Amino acid sequence: MEFILDGFSLGDEKSIKISLEQVFGMVFKYVKQLSEKHGKTKVKDCVIVMPNYWTLDQRVIILNALAIADLYPLSVISENTAAALQYAMNRQDNTTHRVLFYNLGANALQVTLAEFRVANDTKSKSPVETVHIIDEFGLARVGGLDIDVLLAQHFTKIFENKYKKQLNNRAKVKMLEECEQVKEVLSANKDGPLVIEELFDGIDFQSKITRAEFEEVIKDILEKITQPIVPFLRANDIRPK
């Protein structure tokens, strides 16, 4: 994949073509420079975290970009594996148990099942924390942003029915941003208020939604992000209650 930068000249060329690897390479190079500046040491090695649903082609693009930035990847792990390692570093007990890591981002879902146990190091004879990633799966193009959009559509319909006015794109963007806040409120409360000053044509819009109404509005998305969990657990001999 290539991008064309118009308005930039290089010799006789009126535009510049730049590959995806070069774009990421410039980002990695900038991050490397920041790390060396604040760490006051040269940086060569790195560990790269990627979504577990990325394809081989996408992963190769990142590896090529690292080469452009003169960085050597010691390991490539998924985002949930990184979370599992952090959990292992901070857990307080020594019991063997399994943990399900459920990561719903803006536009993707990642689920990982990991087992944690303490083993004895054969050389030092001291206990060592071990992490075993049992299974994982990911879904692209479904996430929190879909929930925001459905919530915004719900409140937009209420506004337009009440005031008989069609929201323009600017007002819709404002509605979408505020609905994200309503979603966060509903995560810990039974209802979520929505207050937007001068949403459209000088109108201050106020409304609210209960948790039950919210779940009904987003029921299709809820099914997509929860239904795969049951067969995933059963495939790993875990019976959800």
Q: What is the pLDDT of residues 139-179, one digit of tens each?
A: 999 999 999 999 999 999 999 999 999 999 999 999 999 99
| Per-residue model confidence (pLDDT) at position 149 | 96
In the chain, the percentage of residues whose pLDDT exceeds 70 is 93
Could you tell me the CATH number of the domain that includes residue 206?
3.90.640.10
Per-residue CA distances from 42 to 22, 37, 68, 71, 115 (Å): 22, 9, 16, 11, 35
**Average pLDDT, stretch 75-89?**
94
Q: Which domain holds residue 164?
A: 144-223
Nearest CA among 68, 26, 74, 70 for reference residue 48: 74
For residues 6-35, b (16+ Cβ closer than 10 Å) or e, as one string?
eeeeeeeeeeeeeeebebbbeebbeebeee
Residue 219 domain flag: yes
- Burial class of residue 115, CB neighbours in 10 A (0-12, 13-18, 19+): middle
Residue 132 domain flag: no
Could you tell me the CATH number of the domain that includes residue 44?
3.30.420.40
Residue 231 domain flag: no
29-43, 61-75, 106-120: range with lowest mean pLDDT:
106-120
Average pLDDT of every residue of the chain:
91
Do 221 and 151 touch, CB atoms closer than 8 A? no
Residue 111 domain flag: no
pTM for the model: 0.82
Domain boundary among 78, 93, 114: 78
The Cα–Cα gap between 227 and 37 comes to: 46
Residue 187 domain flag: yes
Confidence of residue 16 (pLDDT cuts 50, 70, 90): confident
How many domains does the structure of the chain reveal? 2
| Per-residue model confidence (pLDDT) at position 126 | 77
Residue 88 domain flag: no
Indicate whether 39 pLDDT > 80: yes
The Cα–Cα gap between 232 and 228 comes to: 6
